[in-house]
Amino acid sequence: MDNSNKNTAAQILDSLTNDIVSGEFYPKQKLHIKTLKEKYNVGTSPLREALSQLIAKDLVISENQRGFYVSDISIDDLYDIYQARAKIESLCLDMAIDHGDDYWEANIIAASHRLNKYSKLKSIDVNEWQNRHSLFHDMLVSGCKSPRLLQIRDSLFEKSKRYRNLWLKENVSDSETLKVNQSEHAELMNLALERDKNGISKLIENHIMTPVEIIKKSLSQL
């Protein structure tokens, strides 16, 4: 495959991933090759390559003689993903506290400031808030110095987005929920700077698991 085809496959992979994660394609929906080719203006070969990579990401399944479908979501899967995320995040933070330097500390403080400042605005764009929120958590774990562990973390986070989007808009717009969320972020920053492994481990696991019950209610209404 030449470079232009590779680039096209990468672009369609990103687009399809974002559309599945955002809910444009709903769980168990069939992905018709002809429709996808027209939607993304792409050829059959790079499209099938992208779909194969989405199978590896657990976002798409392939059924014999029936084609491609968006992977289903479930309460069991919700708990499994979030529990795995909580444990991996805790491990990353533990290692970051061991290896993080003053640049790591400075990046955490800067990301915390940007998130906190934006969260105080009267009108909040969910995507912008999510970008700043993700960056803050990325900075917390960035000192762990383990590319493999961070790769696992990124994969779990991507999978959790399908569930997270079920409650994100409603809760980011709720001032009281946002205040609690920001209080936890401030405490996470302080615990990281104080190198408090036990404290940050307990808080990050609770912080990540907090949305699960809310998401569970949303799933039961689908």
**Domains in the chain: ranges and CATH:** 3-70 (1.10.10.10), 75-220 (1.20.120.530)
Chain segment 54-82, per-residue pLDDT in tens: 999 899 999 877 899 999 999 999 999 99
pLDDT confidence tier of residue 22, bands split at 50, 70 and 90: confident
Q: How far is CA 217 from CA 103, 168, 214, 221, in A?
A: 41, 13, 5, 7
Model confidence, pTM? 0.84
C-alpha dihedral (128, 133, 135, 139), degrees to nearest 10: 160
pLDDT at 173: 60
Q: Decide which of 73 and 169 is more confident.
A: 73
